[in-house]
Amino acid sequence: MMWRSLSDRPTLSSLKNQLQQFFAQSQQPSLPTIIDYLRHSRCLVILDDLHNLFKSGELAGEYLTDYKEYRTFFRQIAKNHHQSCVILISWEKPREIATLEAEKHSTRTLHLKGLSADAEKILRSHQLTDSDKWPELINLYQGHPTWLNIIASTIVELFDGSVSLFLSYSEDIFLGDLEPILESHLERLSDLEQQVISGFRKNQAIALSQKPTNPELSQSELWSAIQSLVRRGLLEKISEGERGMFQLHPIWQQYLKFKLS
């Protein structure tokens, strides 16, 4: 198994060299391409922080100019037969992955959900009290481990670890030190996405059949923005009767309420 963060934005040739060096340590003889190594032995390769290769201010999954070769590389891995597994971890879904899924190749997307019962271990590690209120706290912050760690520290700092006291004072969802994290996500949005997402302050959910609140936006632009926001994990699809609706996660709704007020 090999894990590699892409936070330092390695060029594709640099990444390929690192992969070949890794494979060469355990495989003989030396093989000419990465695909050959993936065919020769069963390997697990995890490439983390893929979103660092994408442009900010554009719809989700658009590569920076000097990193567009990655698109072809990932397509080759997905479309060639081999016995290995390559996992991409990202804030944003690459566009070519969506296309490959539609072509029914052995490519899948897993949207990581928040923790449930396991989240209690985080709260227990901070020695929080009022365990009967823990499920409410976990649900409020979507079981997100990083968010729960941050909020748990706040509860210790301000409320002596009392979850009940914290919840009793919070009319709205408290963000505190979560704000810089949320800001870093919203800074990546395109102008089109920012226009659409601001409309979720007034609407609990939006249907695809709904007319854009901004008369300057076309229906097609609205759909493109919603699709991109879903690929960023900021919107989720829900069923309401026979039609699909898209809603903003409560944490993001609270942040927009604070940010755009």
Enclosing H/E stretch for 148: helix 145-159
pLDDT, tens only, 83-135: 899 999 999 999 899 888 888 778 999 888 888 889 999 999 999 999 999 99
pLDDT beyond 80 at 223: yes
CA distance 235 to 207: 12
Q: Residue 237's pLDDT band (boundaries 50, 70, 90)?
A: confident
- What is the rounded CA–CA span in Å between residue 239 and residue 69? 38
Q: Which of 93-107, 111-125, 193-207, 225-239 has the lowest mean pLDDT?
A: 193-207
Q: Which of 38-47, 48-57, 83-92, 234-243 has the lowest mean pLDDT?
A: 234-243
Q: What is the DSSP letter of 190?
A: -
- Which of 244, 231, 189 minimizes the C-alpha distance to 96? 231
Class of domain 185-259: mainly alpha
What would the mean pLDDT of 251-260 be, rounded to a whole number?
Answer: 80
Bond from prior residue into 250 cis (ω within 30 degrees of 0):
no
CA-CA distance, 90 to 218, in Å (whole number)? 29
Closest CA to 213 of 232, 227, 199: 199
Q: Taking a C-beta distance cutoff of 8 angstroms, is the pair 246, 237 a contact?
A: yes
Intervals of CATH 1.10.10.10 along the chain: 185-259
pLDDT over 90 at 17, yes or no: yes
pLDDT at 196 over 70: yes
The SS3 call for residue 84 is coil
